[in-house]
Structures are given as C-alpha cells and as structure tokens.
C-alpha cells in the first residue's frame, strides 16, 4: 500500500465522525468478524478454546483506546478482571511456576486512562497493577501493547516499574521507531518478555522509518538483538521473511522451543499459525474482542490493500 494511502486510512482511525458512520453500517460487522472474535467474554472464550485445541496459545485484548474519562477506564479494568477470572477457570491456567503460560491478556494503557490530563500516567499504572495482580493469581500473563510514539516513554517506564513485582510482565516494541534497536538492547535482559512487531500507527519521519524496506531491516536488526539476549523474544509478524529469519536466528542462538514464541493476529494467516504450531513451535494468537473495534479494524485495513478492497466491495454490495 502506498505511504499516502496508508496515512489516509490511518487518519480515518482517529476520526470520530467516520467512526460513527462506519460502525453503524450493518456490513461492517460482517467484515469485522474476520479480525475480531465477538463482542462478549463468552464469544471470545469460545474462539480461544478452539485456538487452544489447535495447539496455539492466546493473548486476549479487550478493545478500546484513548479513554479520557475515569468511568470508562474503570469499566475497562472491570472487563479485564472478569476476563481473567474466566480464563483462570480453564485447565490451561494450571502451569508450573516459571513455565510459559498459554493464556495471556494484552492491555493498552491508553484504555486504562494514560491520556487523562494530569494524573493519567499514575492512573494507568495503578490500573495495570490491578490487572497484573489478578493475572498472577490466575496463572495468566499480561503484555502491555505499544501505541503511538508519544506514549512510548510513559508505557515503558510503567512496564519497568511493574516488573519489580510482576517480572513476567511483557512489553511491545515497534521496529519502525528509530529508538527501538536501543530499547531492545536495554530490555533484552534475563526474564524480560518483549513482543517485537513492525508498528501499526502513522508516525512522522522524525521518529520512525517510513519506508517498508527500512522497517523490515530494522525488524531484523532488533530481532537479532533479542534472540542474542537473555530474555524471551515474542516474534509478532505475519511476514514470511521475518518468520524464516527468526527460525535461523533462534537456532543459531541455540534457543529451545520454550525460550521464544511466534505471535500472529486472529484471522490473519491462520494456516501459517497452525503450520508453525504443528511443527512444534510455540505460537500465540492475539485475539481482540469487544464493541470498540473501530481503531483496531482500520489499522488492519491500512496494512493490506486487499483488506481495504474487500471492505469497500462489501460496502457497495459486490
Ligand atoms: P507486513 O510486512 O505488514 O505483512 C507481511 C505479510 O503478512 C503480508 O504480505 C500479508 O501476507 C500478511 N499480513 C500482514 N498484515 C495483514 C493484514 N492486516 N491482513 C491480512 N494479511 C496481512 N502494532 C502496534 O503498533 N502495537 C502493538 O502493540 C501491536 N501488537 C501486535 C501483536 C501481534 C501479536 C501482532 C502479530 C501484531 C501486532 N501489531 C502491533 C501490528 C504490527 O505492528 C503490524 O502492523 C502487523 O503485524 C503487520 O506487520 P507484519 O509484521 O505482519 O508484516
């Protein structure tokens, strides 16, 4: 997709007017169902049980972002606590201390109040702490998603702080950011869990590589740092070149199966997810659910012209 079209589609992800228009269209829900596993906890659990049966692990995201009212942030925490309680009742929550946990939730700090003026950083940190405490008791991991670059410092400092009590807490680094190779070096220490992705937001040239070849090259450099490090790399990509390079890198670093994992998004390259899992790899599928699917959905459209075309054709009824 051209950089201009990608920027235009990503700008739509931040438009409340377009959000109102698109979320009201009956056809949107049918297309969204390809990427989002329903609106309720019951529906997402059903999708997860099917993935777990096919030997994949899961990371569940309750959709929502950029929450600036306290009641909205509290409601998101309540949803996560209910989700974690339900996950804790699954047999996969029974894991030995220190072992890889098949069940995980992914959390966006902006949905927990990070963008609230004044105390947003501290509010999001304490909300995340509540979620981590519940997850620890239930045998579930938490990873903090990466959002636009204005949040990176706040997000990574919250992860660092919470890791003092919850050393298994994961963070996401985006290879398109120029700073990320350094962040990988700083965060590749023992016990750290880093999900490396390319990055899904529309970032300025001053902080991010905008050329696809440069992003891909940055991803491979960052992957090299993480696989050579002492942490647990989580290779989040659908890109065949990344998956092939990761296979070579983990072998060269003599990592065992339980010392890294592949990750992909729900509904994207499901055959490849199964192929990797059946071949004996750990594969975790990121499974989003909830009503607030608009921003997530538009970012998926921006990643691939075919997705945008499919959505536009559905709109005009072809
Ligand atoms: P690309 O070069 O974009 O794609 C490679 C190939 O993958 C494509 O040719 C196509 O075959 C397939 N593909 C990729 N995207 C799609 C799609 N939407 N639909 C259909 N096929 C597709 N980004 C963030 O900014 N913050 C996060 O916290 C974050 N968390 C993520 C968690 C996981 C588990 C994953 C897998 C991705 C996450 N992302 C996140 C998104 C990521 O940054 C990329 O935008 C996205 O994964 C596409 O990049 P890619 O590595 O798959 O490679």
58 close to 48: Cβ distance less than 8 angstroms: yes
Cβ of residue 128 lying under 6 Å from some atom of ligand 1: no
> Cα of 264 to ligand 1 centre, how many Å?
7
36-292 fold = TIM Barrel (3.20.20)
> Cα of 98 to ligand 1 centre, how many Å?
29
Residue nearest to atom 5 of ligand 1 (CA): 239
pLDDT of residue 318: 52
Cβ of residue 106 lying under 6 Å from some atom of ligand 1: no
Cβ of residue 262 lying under 6 Å from some atom of ligand 1: no
* Residue range 263-314, pLDDT digits in tens: 999 999 999 999 999 999 999 999 999 999 999 999 999 988 788 888 888 7
Hey, is 142 helix, strand or coil?
strand
Known binding positions for FAD: 174, 198-200, 212, 237-238
Q: Which of 2, 200, 246 to mutate to test the pocket of ligand 1 (most atoms within 8 A of CB)?
A: 200
Active site residue 195: yes
- Tell me the mean pLDDT in the region 190-200: 97
- Tell me the mean pLDDT in the region 14-36: 84
- Helices 152-162 and 120-138 sit at what angle, rounded to 10 degrees? 40
Q: How many whole angstroms separate alpha carbon 297 and alpha carbon 51?
A: 21
Cβ of residue 264 lying under 6 Å from some atom of ligand 1: yes
Q: How many whole angstroms separate alpha carbon 10 and alpha carbon 12?
A: 5
310 close to 35: Cβ distance less than 8 angstroms: no
Residue nearest to atom 8 of ligand 1 (CA): 239
Q: How many whole angstroms separate alpha carbon 232 and alpha carbon 238?
A: 19
- Tell me the mean pLDDT in the region 189-193: 96
Residue nearest to atom 32 of ligand 1 (CA): 236
- pTM tops 0.80, yes or no: yes
Q: How many whole angstroms separate alpha carbon 107 and alpha carbon 152?
A: 14
Cβ of residue 197 lying under 6 Å from some atom of ligand 1: yes
Cβ of residue 302 lying under 6 Å from some atom of ligand 1: no
Q: Which residue has the higher pLDDT, 2 or 261?
A: 261
Active site residue 61: no
**Distances in whole angstroms, Cα of residue 256 to Cα of each of 21, 220, 297, 306:** 49, 20, 35, 36
| pLDDT more than 70, % of the chain | 99
> Cα of 190 to ligand 1 centre, how many Å?
27
**Does the pLDDT value for residue 82 go beyond 90?**
yes
Hey, is 15 helix, strand or coil?
coil
At 25, the pLDDT band (50, 70, 90 cuts) reads confident
- Tell me the mean pLDDT in the region 195-205: 96
277 close to 56: Cβ distance less than 8 angstroms: yes
60 close to 85: Cβ distance less than 8 angstroms: no
Known binding positions for substrate: 108, 299-300
**Closest to 6 in 3D by CA, of 312, 268, 306, 303:** 303
Strand partners, 194: 171, 233
Q: How many whole angstroms separate alpha carbon 199 and alpha carbon 189?
A: 22
Cβ neighbour number for residue 5 with a 10 Å cutoff:
12
Alpha-carbon dihedral sign for residues 77, 80, 82, 84: negative
Q: How many whole angstroms separate alpha carbon 193 and alpha carbon 313?
A: 40
* Residue range 30-42, pLDDT digits in tens: 889 999 999 999 9
Angular region, 267: left φ>0, alpha ψ -120 to 50, beta rest = left
Half-sphere exposure for 259 (CA within 13 Å, toward CB):
17
Cβ of residue 220 lying under 6 Å from some atom of ligand 1: no
> Cα of 236 to ligand 1 centre, how many Å?
7
Q: How many whole angstroms separate alpha carbon 286 and alpha carbon 254?
A: 26
- Tell me the mean pLDDT in the region 196-208: 97
Q: Which of 6, 163, 195, 284 is catalytic?
A: 195
Dihedral angle of Cα 149, 233, 105, 66, to the nearest 10 degrees: 0
Q: Are strands 103-107 and 141-144 parallel, antiparallel or unpaired?
A: parallel
pLDDT averaged over every residue in the chain:
94
Q: Which of 61, 145, 202, 216 is catalytic?
A: 145
């Amino acid at each position: 997709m051209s950089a201009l079209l990608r920027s235009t589609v990503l700008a739509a992800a931040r438009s409340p007017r377009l959000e109102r228009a698109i979320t009201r269209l009956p056809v949107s829900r049918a297309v969204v169902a390809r990427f989002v596993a329903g609106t309720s906890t019951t529906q997402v659990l059903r999708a997860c049980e099917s993935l777990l049966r096919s030997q994949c692990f899961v990371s569940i995201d309750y959709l929502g972002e950029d929450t600036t009212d306290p009641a909205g942030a509290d409601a998101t925490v309540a949803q996560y606590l209910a989700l974690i309680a339900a996950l804790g009742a699954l047999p996969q929550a029974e894991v030995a201390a220190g072992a890889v946990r098949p069940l995980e939730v992914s959390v966006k700090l902006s949905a927990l109040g990070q963008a609230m003026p004044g105390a947003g950083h501290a509010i999001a940190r304490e909300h995340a702490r509540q979620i981590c405490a519940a997850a620890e008791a239930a045998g579930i991991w938490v990873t903090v998603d990466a959002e636009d670059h204005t949040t990176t410092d706040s997000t990574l400092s919250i992860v660092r702080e919470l890791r003092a009590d919850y050393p298994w807490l994961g963070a996401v680094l985006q290879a398109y950011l120029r700073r990320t190779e350094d962040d990988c070096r700083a965060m590749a220490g023992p016990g750290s869990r880093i999900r490396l992705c390319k990055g899904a937001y529309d970032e300025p040239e001053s902080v991010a590589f905008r050329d696809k070849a440069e992003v891909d090259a940055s991803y491979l450099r960052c992957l090299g740092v993480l696989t050579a490090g002492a942490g647990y790399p989580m290779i989040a990509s659908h890109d065949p070149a990344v998956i092939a390079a990761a296979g070579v890198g983990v072998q060269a670093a003599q990592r065992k199966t339980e010392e890294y994992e592949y990750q992909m998004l729900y509904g994207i390259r499901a055959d490849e997810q199964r192929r990797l899992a059946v071949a004996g790899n750990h594969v975790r599928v990121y499974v989003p659910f909830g009503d607030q699917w608009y921003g997530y959905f538009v970012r998926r459209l921006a990643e691939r012209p075919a997705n945008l075309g499919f959505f536009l054709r559905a709109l005009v009824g072809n």
